[in-house]
Amino acid sequence: MEQRYKNFLLLLAALACFAVGAALFIGDNDMVYEQTDETQEEKDQNNEKGNTLENQEVNAAEEDEAAASAKVGSDGENFFVNYRMQRDKRRDNQTELYRDILNDATRDEEAKTAAQAALEKLYQVAAVEDKVEEILVGRNYSDVIFVMEDTVSLLIVKKQSLSEEEKTALASFVCSYAGIAQDSLSVFTVE
C-alpha cells in the first residue's frame, strides 16, 4: 500500500508540473517564434549561459506534460485526446529544434552530434510509447497513454479500476517491452 501511495504522490507531482507548464506555455503563444527569431549573437550568449540542448529538451518535455495534465479535470476521453494532441505538438517542436540545429551551418560538430543523438532518442521513445499503447488497445483496453521518461514512466488506462493482478500483468508487460525497471513505472486509471 505504501508503494501505491508513493506512486500516487509522484502522479500528483507530475500533474502539478504539467499544470504549471501549461499555464506558462498557453500564456505565451509567441514563445516558439521568439526562440527561433533570436539572432546568432543572442543564441551564442544563451549557450554561454548554460542554455544547453539537454535543458531545452527537459523544458519542452515539462511544458508538454503540464499542458496535458491541465486537461485532467475533463472527462477521461478528453484527457486522452488532449494528451495525444499535446504530445504530438511537443514531439513536432522538439524535432524541429533538433533539425534546425543539424541544418545550422554555424553550429559546431559537437552540437550537431548531440542534436542527432537527441533526435534519434526522441524517435525511439515515441515508437515505444506508441507501440505499447497500440498493443494494449488491441488487448481490449479502450484507451491507454504510456509516458516513458528517463527516471519515471506512467501508464494511464481508461478504466474505472484495475485489480492488483491486472496492474501487475500490465506493469510486467510494459516494463519488459519498453526495457524499463518495474519500480520506475506507475500505473493509474482514468474514467
- Report in angstroms the alpha-carbon separations of 8 from 2, 13, 143, 161, 185: 10, 9, 20, 14, 11
According to the model, what pLDDT value does residue 53 have? 53
Give CA–CA dist 145/112, Å, rounded.
31
- pLDDT 10s digits, 91-148: 999 999 999 999 999 999 999 999 999 999 999 999 999 999 999 999 999 899 999 9
Max Cα–Cα distance, the chain, nearest Å: 57
Please tell me the least confidently modeled range out of 28-42, 59-73, 141-155. 28-42
According to the model, what pLDDT value does residue 27 have? 41
- Across 40-44, average pLDDT: 52
70 versus 116: the higher-pLDDT residue is 116
Taking residue 67's Cβ as centre, other Cβ atoms within 10 Å add up to 24
Most confident of 64-68, 76-80, 135-139: 135-139
Contact status, residue 190 vs residue 155, Cβ threshold 8 Å: no
Contact status, residue 79 vs residue 72, Cβ threshold 8 Å: yes
pTM of the predicted model as reported, rounded to 2 decimal places: 0.62
What is the helix (H) or strand (E) element at residue 186, kind and residue range?
Answer: strand 185-190
